[in-house]
Structure 1
Amino acid sequence: MSPFRIVIVGGGIAGFAAAIALRGPNRQIIVLEQSRLNKEIGALISLQPNASRIFQSSWGVDLSRARAMVDEGFRIYNTDGYLVNTVPLLSRTEYEADRLVFHRRDLHDLLRHEALSSSPIRAGEPVEVRTASRVASCDPVQGTVTLEGGETVTGDLIVGADGIHSVLRKHVLQEEPLAKPTGHSEMIPTEVLESHEPEFCSKINPREPFTSMMVAHDCRLVMGPGRQREVYGIVALVPDEQLNEDPNAKQSWVSEGHLDKMLEAFAEYPPWDPLRTWHRGRVILIGDAAHAMLPTQGQGASQAIEDAEALGAFFEGVDDAPLELMDSILEDIFQARHSRVSLIQAYSRQAAKPATAKGDKTVTMTPEEFMDFNCMYRGAKAWKGRMISLSA
């Protein structure tokens, strides 16, 4: 029997998570990565309990190998540095997992290792990674992607994990919506921060295992320690007009930001509306390619992990998929994921708006209630069953 061919476009966190989830007998998985080194860069990244539980219970991945740091909760500060609210995590034993913080590169290296591993705990053959393989176009119905050099790669399933500036998205939607960047991130050695900013550190201790947020009208600072307290990550959320980022840039993590522009307060965050669909033919989008979101809930990477789990769950046992069956499976995945992700997108956008913003609120849950909504997730099939039972 010919192997079930899976092509994953994008060798980032979403792409390798999908590769791990989809590995199985008689499957051939290729990851196409546009860079030459396939090395993630960027700042700190968090996985919420809904995602870290998937790694542990579904995939058997030991996240401590990526120097994971347990985050004990969220702390909200005003601009004077006074604590105004705390949302603890460690006391919530019903989550059955912790919120973990990583350096993005450490998590990426672990995922890549697991995808390439020949260990018997990983079903199927190791994944093939092809670097310097930039995708230029895609035919979703034929199941082909064409590289910039003219080579065509064919798959029974094509996963678009190519990020916020996805090439595949326009072929799925048959139009090309542009992403609107909204942030600037920095990582600072903790010792340097303590030496140069003692007043800041006297109010927000950079070595305590909490994610801190400072709220100032239409801007937010989201901060927290990583790499076992060696570094402190700071993400500034501001409208893109203050950053002058290039919306056509291929790598948002390395787009050049302008600090003077970032510091100017301005208007509201630009909206990112949910896409009307994530799939067409043999192609499905996941992660930022399907549902980029602001980091106010720390759910961007976690939702990509949930997408990957859904792929593994709905393709379990599938080794042959004519186009009609493929469309049915991809629609099941979309229906199981879309409403949940769209609500998290909306809440993340709402949480980033000024406290004085007028108009109807998209989400009426409290932060604590929304934390439960985020973290009590038990996989795509269980979620779909819950939605069916609620609508009956």
Structure 2
Amino acid sequence: MNIAILGGGVAGVASAIAFRLKGFDVTVYERRAADANIGAGIVVWPNAAFVLDRFGIVGDIAAVAGRPRAMRRLSRAGEDLGALDIGLIDARMGYPSLSILRSDFQRILMARLQALRVGVQYGRNVARIEPGGVVHFDDGTTLTADLVVGADGRMASRARRYVTGDDTPVYQGFINWIGVCEGEFDVDTISDYWGTGERFGIVPVARNKAYWAGGAAQATIGARDPDAYRDELQRIFADWPEPVRRIVAGAPAARINKIYVHDHDPVPTWHRDNLIMIGDAAHAALPTSGQGACQALEDAWHLANCVEAHPGNLDQALAAFTALRFQKTAGITMAGRGLASSLFNRDEAFCRERDRASKQANLADLARAMANGWSRHLPV
């Protein structure tokens, strides 16, 4: 079977690895002119670590990653709102949680892909897809394959448009400024500061390095002016706790990115003809879900398994894959929306009650529930 993968991000590269490990003929087509990564860093939760172990690279990830043991919630005044026991999640699932820079993560994925001798064609921007899964590139060339995997992201997915008729993402009313910083950090602890319509997260990947995200509610999409990003952050977080102020003050302006955060409404149909959409094209979740890259990795592993399990019947394989993945990813998408609506609420009374509830919450039960949900359909 010949497999064409549209997109060279996490979902696309992971899918190529999964298929190649099973002996399939795979080629990746990426719209960008060269390998690139978007985002500052990710937490590889245990469900994703399981997949990376199957790919033979979890050790490479762990070698350049942090190993967080807790996620501390704090108010904008620095008040302790409780801590999520990440060690409990890891113990229940049997794999570690690993915090890693996005650039390191993508580099390791790509090295594994290259070791498997999978070709990547850059500068191949998809113009449209026609019935039968015929892919037209904007350079005038076309592509046909036995299976086309649409891993072309959340913002302009031609695969999603082909399957559902619409690829318009949903703006969720908040911005993230993201970056990487150096300093001294408690490598065991992720810090998550909650304000009124604002949030700031710090995720160490080593004792001297972390990635961060500052978020704020904004009803409409505005301009992007990179020269103004640090000033915007300093206006919002000027009176927040010292670790936040220090990161904002020291952030190189050229290394700050600003994202108007979108997701997609869950849809139950992921394939048409011989094309299947995966990753953000199928189920883009907000960063508040913590599971975007993790679910892309799960997609890759499950899809290759389903195709292998249904030889000679691609439609049955793709239907089985969608049935396996839809409910879990839809739940994660909606959970991400729910947390975002709480964190970026502008009502002060609501946020005071939210913080009070967090201090009284049984976070051990939450950790167990997260482990149970993330384990679904995985042998962990």
- TM-score, with length taken from structure 1: 0.76
Partner-residue secondary structure (3-state), 2:171: coil
Separation (CA, whole Å) in 2 of partners of 1:72 and 1:174: 43
Structure-1 residue corresponding to 2:356: none
Of Structure 1 and Structure 2, the greater helix share is in 2
Structure-1 residue corresponding to 2:203: 224
Structure-2 residue corresponding to 1:342: 330
Structure-2 residue corresponding to 1:133: 124
Structure-2 residue corresponding to 1:161: 151
**Would you say the 8 A contact 1:70–1:98 is kept in 2?**
yes
Structure-1 residue corresponding to 2:27: 30
**Would you say the 8 A contact 2:263–2:286 is kept in 1?**
no
Write out aligned runs for 1:149-228 (5 A).
Answer: 149-165=139-155, 166-180=157-171, 182-191=174-183, 206-226=185-205, 228=206
Identity of aligned residues (%): 26
Separation (CA, whole Å) in 2 of partners of 1:138 and 1:256: 38
For the structure 1 residues 51 and 24, does the alpha-carbon distance in structure 2 shift closer, same or farther, using more than 3 Å as the test?
A: closer
Separation (CA, whole Å) in 1 of partners of 2:106 and 2:262: 29
Q: Alpha-carbon deviations, 1:331-369, whole Å to 9, x = none?
A: 2111111111111111111112237289xxxxxx97644
1:279 equivalent among 271, 281, 286: 271
CA-CA distance at 1:26 after TM superposition: 5.2
Q: Alpha-carbon deviations, 1:226-256, whole Å to 9, x = none?
A: 2x2332222123345466268xxxxxxx999
Structure-2 residue corresponding to 1:94: 92
For the structure 1 residues 129 and 244, does the alpha-carbon distance in structure 2 shift closer, same or farther, using more than 3 Å as the test?
A: same
**Would you say the 8 A contact 1:214–1:222 is kept in 2?**
yes
Matched, 1:316 2:308: yes
CA-CA distance at 1:46 after TM superposition: 1.2
**Would you say the 8 A contact 2:47–2:375 is kept in 1?**
yes
Separation (CA, whole Å) in 2 of partners of 1:189 and 1:25: 39
**Would you say the 8 A contact 1:9–1:160 is kept in 2?**
yes
Matched, 1:143 2:133: yes
**Would you say the 8 A contact 1:172–1:279 is kept in 2?**
yes
2:286 equivalent among 294, 298, 320: 294
Q: Alpha-carbon deviations, 1:50-97, whole Å to 9, x = none?
A: 1112211x2222343561211112110011112211111224422111
Q: Alpha-carbon deviations, 1:118-147, whole Å to 9, x = none?
A: 4xxxxxxx21110111111112x4122111
Separation (CA, whole Å) in 2 of partners of 1:373 and 1:161: 29
For the structure 1 residues 378 and 82, does the alpha-carbon distance in structure 2 shift closer, same or farther, using more than 3 Å as the test?
A: closer
Partner-residue secondary structure (3-state), 1:8: strand
Separation (CA, whole Å) in 1 of partners of 2:230 and 2:331: 31
**Would you say the 8 A contact 1:282–1:326 is kept in 2?**
yes
Letter in 2 for 1:59: F
**Would you say the 8 A contact 1:183–1:239 is kept in 2?**
yes
Write out aligned runs for 1:75-94 (5 A).
Answer: 75-92=72-89, 93-94=91-92
**Would you say the 8 A contact 2:37–2:103 is kept in 1?**
yes
In structure 2, stretches of 5+ residues that fail to align are 238-260, 354-360
- TM-score, with length taken from structure 2: 0.79
Letter in 2 for 1:164: R
* Segment drifting more, 374-383 vs 272-281: 374-383
CA-CA distance at 1:273 after TM superposition: 2.5
Separation (CA, whole Å) in 1 of partners of 2:139 and 2:59: 37
Separation (CA, whole Å) in 1 of partners of 2:328 and 2:309: 25
Partner-residue secondary structure (3-state), 2:84: strand
**Would you say the 8 A contact 2:93–2:371 is kept in 1?**
yes
For the structure 1 residues 62 and 176, does the alpha-carbon distance in structure 2 shift closer, same or farther, using more than 3 Å as the test?
A: closer
For the structure 1 residues 313 and 208, does the alpha-carbon distance in structure 2 shift closer, same or farther, using more than 3 Å as the test?
A: same
For the structure 1 residues 381 and 224, does the alpha-carbon distance in structure 2 shift closer, same or farther, using more than 3 Å as the test?
A: closer
Q: Alpha-carbon deviations, 1:250-306, whole Å to 9, x = none?
A: xxxx999856667679xxx98852124222111111111111122223111111111
Q: CA RMSD in A?
A: 3.0
Structure-1 residue corresponding to 2:211: 233
CA-CA distance at 1:382 after TM superposition: 6.4
Separation (CA, whole Å) in 2 of partners of 1:311 and 1:333: 6
**Would you say the 8 A contact 2:74–2:191 is kept in 1?**
yes
Separation (CA, whole Å) in 2 of partners of 1:136 and 1:257: 34
